[in-house]
Amino acid sequence: MNEQYALKTLTKEQVEKFYKQGFIILKNVFSQDEILNAKNSFENLFSTAQKLDGNTQELKGSHFVFEEGGLNRIVWCGGYERKLLDLSKDERILRPVSDILESSELNQIINQAHFKMPGERIEFKWHQDSEHRRYGTDMWRDVDGRGSYVQTVLAIDAMTKENGPLVFVPNSNQNGHLDLQNNSELLRKIDSMDKLELTLEAGDLALFGPYTIHSSSVNLSDSPRRVLINGYAYPGANSRHYPGVGLGRELTI
């Protein structure tokens, strides 16, 4: 299912694939030199986190979140490390998102550094991102009728079967918002569904929609598995305030 990313714009077939299966993968989006710069920012963030007391807190507009005794993620990481915020408005990310949402105006509400370090127990159970966006409440309005949101995951390190990769349930987006956490019967059925375990090289980009069921397990390797996650909403969809950014920042491409 992997595709070489030769152009900054998506083809009609790629957009159709996104809405059919719930995700697409773009290979070699960023060079290794660019990824090295991002790694330096991640290392600076992690070094800062190690000096904190292990309690979730905000520094320079970035929300350092600790769970299970370790650093889980840094919300709006670009507040502390500006390079990561600049990276999140790179055309190689914004253009395919714009193609999917069919909008040149985007509202960026997510800019997160996720850390899965060796020996730590960070994992994410089966969920849809529509849960986090607060679909079904007055905090969210599905403006375009197709989810109005695209999440992007940039691999900072290689993502392998051993280090807690993303796992997608293909075509699960077709059923819309499922309120999974209150649907124990469906959660049990996921074990028997077809799944795709994502393997990525550093610099690859995954894009998926808010209804795509996904998870990621614990890192069982001796190497870090770090990703930069950026999320973009269709204008007018989001009314939720996020740490460090509030209602989001408006971007134009």
For 9-29, the pLDDT digits (tens) are: 899 999 999 999 999 999 999
Summary mean pLDDT of the chain: 94
32 phi, psi to nearest 5 deg: -70, -30
Residue 121 — very low, low, confident or very high, per pLDDT cuts 50/70/90? confident
Tell me what pLDDT residue 4 has: 54
Domain 3-237 architecture: Sandwich (2.60)
Q: Please choose, from the candidates 50, 73, 189, 83, the residue with its C-alpha nearest in 3D space to the C-alpha of residue 123.
A: 73
Q: Please choose, from the candidates 75, 95, 87, the residue with its C-alpha nearest in 3D space to the C-alpha of residue 26.
A: 95
Paired tokens of 154: 């940039």
Kindly report, residue by residue over 201-222, the tens digit of the pLDDT: 999 999 999 999 999 999 999 9
pLDDT higher than threshold 80 for residue 251: yes
Each domain of the chain, given as residue ranges in start order, spans: 3-237
